[in-house]
Amino acid sequence: MVRAAVLPAVGAPLELAEIELPEPGPGQVRVRLAAAGVCHSDLSLSNGTMVVPVPAILGHEGAGTVTAVGEGVTGIAPDSGVVLNWAPSCGGCPACARGEVWLCGNALNGAANIHARRVSDGTELHPGLNVAAFAEETVVSASCVLPAPEGVPLAEAALLGCAVLTGYGAVHHSARVREGETVAVHGVGGVGLAAIQSARIAGASRIIAVDVSAAKEELARAAGATDYVVASDSTAREIRALTGKQGVDVAIECVGRAATIRAAWDSTRRGGRTTVVGIGGKDQQVTFNALEIFHWGRTLSGCVYGNTDPARDVPVLGDHIRAGRLDLGLLVTERIGLEDIPAAFENMLAGKGGRALVTF
């Protein structure tokens, strides 16, 4: 029996419960979690912005130690440190055939499976986003684990499973920031802090961090921001003023709100690029007129999981961490227990802090 944070129904509060996990079957591994990050996507799953079968154990950003492997599993042994990969590619769908593994049409099939049972009443539980990381232990497909980079603390390696991959990929794979370009990062949470560090790694000449909270300026500058703007109705004008009235080359939007997406678009120069990382609801409508699309010649693109291939990119991130270019600890603004996840959700809604990390 292990403890887990269970979402009993969409919109309901999380409940701490003891669950019973099955032994790993063919092609599966059991992992004892070292840590799990509390991501905005978990909040979106809990409130129905994103759909997940319920009741479920949420949590998709985690790392831990393999304790057992099922039949047919190769390349992964007990006592190995691993990073959870919530969106494993199938390798056979049209997206995978194009090399766009982040768009795999079968990546989330495992979320519909029965993952565990609640000890008290036998209720069957689904694994939120495949991996059910809000638990002391989990059983996942072997395709959902990646070797943890050598020399990286296992608790902090949890952040590689979503926030860092997404922020890094948004900069390097989606926006493709080039050396000397100017970048604005809208939203200084876990993903935003990873994007700021990644823009610095890419050689951006100016990195403007934008957030509703003035209290995050010190954190943003520590990550590599050269300027800080408190979000308002005049955000785009302030960014243009900082860039010789031109606007930035690239804007990375990490919030998922219509107003922020529009501000990010407006903050780029003519011919600039806006990458939207934040996950917004269907009610968040962004509008443009046909003339401005022609006149500004800007590019607006979505970004799923940072447009990354985790098997390729996690080792690269490990190199950056070991070289001191990427600081995972900077993203973590509080370390909490399972019982504190609802409070972390509230802080997220209030725009407070970076990444809350559940440590076991």
Q: Please give the span between the terminal C-alpha atoms of the chain, in angstroms, as a whole number.
A: 15
pLDDT value of residue 1: 87
One-letter-per-residue 3-state SS of 153-195: CHHHHHHHHCHHHHHHHHHHHHCCCCCCCEEEEECCCHHHHHH
Q: Are 128 and 57 in contact (CB under 8 A)?
A: yes
Q: What is the pLDDT of residues 266-287, one digit of tens each?
A: 999 999 999 999 998 889 999 9
pLDDT tens-digit readout, 131-186 = 999 999 999 999 999 999 999 999 999 999 999 999 999 999 999 999 999 999 99
Average pLDDT for the chain? 96
Q: How distant is the alpha carbon of residue 15 from its chain centre?
A: 23
Which ranges of the chain would DSSP assign to H, the alpha helix? 40-47, 94-97, 154-157, 163-169, 190-202, 217-223, 235-242, 258-266, 290-296, 310-322, 341-349
12-15-17 Cα angle (round to 5): 150
CA 212/CA 256 separation, integer angstroms: 14
pLDDT at 100: 97
Q: What pTM, to 2 d.p., does this model score?
A: 0.95
Walking along the chain (360 residues) 10 residues at a time, the average pLDDT comes out as 95 95 96 96 89 93 98 95 97 96 95 93 94 98 97 96 97 98 97 98 98 96 98 97 97 96 98 96 93 97 96 97 97 96 92 91
Domains of the chain: 2-148+328-359 (3.90.180.10), 164-305 (3.40.50.720)
**pLDDT for the residue numbered 50:** 85
SS3 318: helix
- Say how many C-beta atoms besides its own lie within 10 A of residue 324's C-beta: 7
